[in-house]
Chains A and B, each alone.
Chain A
C-alpha cells in the first residue's frame, strides 16, 4: 500500500510569507501528526489530528497551525515566516494515534526561509 505522501518536497520562501504543507496519510489511518526536524533542536512535535480534531499540540507559536480534512489528509500552515522556521517538516500517520500504535513517516518537506 502507498506510504505517507508529503507535498511539496522542497520549498523556498521569503521571510514574512506564509506557507502551506500537505500530507496524505496511509489509507485507513485517521491520525496525522506533524514534526519539525532541525539540526539544533532535533525532532519536535508540532500537533496531532484525529478525525478532523486537534488532540495534542506542541510548544510552538500560534504562527504554526494545521487542519485535517474528512478524508484524513492534513495541511500545516506557517504564517509570517522567520529564518528559524527553516527545517524539515515531517508528517506521520497511524491508525489511531494512541501510544500503542506505530507511526509511519513521510519523506518530509524541506522548507528554506531566506
Chain B
C-alpha cells in the first residue's frame, strides 16, 4: 500500500518569503501525484498534478512542484508567498482508484 509523508506540519512565513513544502511517498509502482490546498472554510482545490513528462510542473497561483523519482519526492514551491496563501496544503498520490494523502501542512503567511 502507498503512504505519503509531509515533513512540515506548521510553517510560518512573512509575505514575499520563498516556500518549499516537502512531500515523500512510498510505493513501488507507478503513481500520479497531486498537491491540494484547503483555504479556511473552503473545499479542497487542486493546485497542481504530475502524471508524466516534465518532472517540473506548474500549477495555479504561481505554485510549482518537482517530481524526483529517485527520491520518491514531490516538493511544492513558490518563490514569493502572499498573505492569501494562508491555508492547509496536502500532498497526495493515486496508485489506482483512491487518493492517499499526507498529513497536511498548515501555512500561515504574516502580512
Write the residues of chain A forming the contact surface with B, with a CB cutoff of 8 angstroms: 3-4, 31, 33, 35, 42-45, 48, 50, 55-56, 58, 90, 92, 97-100, 102-108
Contacts and interface: CB of A to CB of B under 8 A. Distances in A.
B46 interface: yes
The range of chain B's interface size is 20 to 34
B12 to A, nearest CB: 19
16 contacts: A33-B99, A42-B103, A43-B90, A43-B92, A43-B104, A44-B101, A50-B97, A58-B98, A90-B44, A99-B94, A100-B32, A102-B49, A103-B94, A105-B36, A106-B43, A107-B43
Given A42-B102, A43-B101, A103-B94, 13 more contacts: A4-B43, A31-B97, A33-B99, A42-B101, A43-B99, A45-B98, A50-B97, A56-B96, A56-B97, A99-B94, A100-B94, A103-B99, A105-B44
Interface of B: 30-32, 34, 36, 42-46, 49, 51, 90, 92, 94-104
B49 A48 contact: no
Nearest to B52: A100
Contacts of A48: 97-98
Given A105-B43, A106-B43, A100 B99 contact: no
Given A42-B103, A99-B32, A108 B43 contact: yes
A4 B31 CA distance: 25
A45 B99 contact: yes
Name the prevailing secondary structure of the A interface residues. strand
Nearest to B51: A100
Nearest to B45: A105
Contacts of A99: 30-32, 94-97
Contacts of A31: 97
Contact of B97 (A3, A90, A98): A98
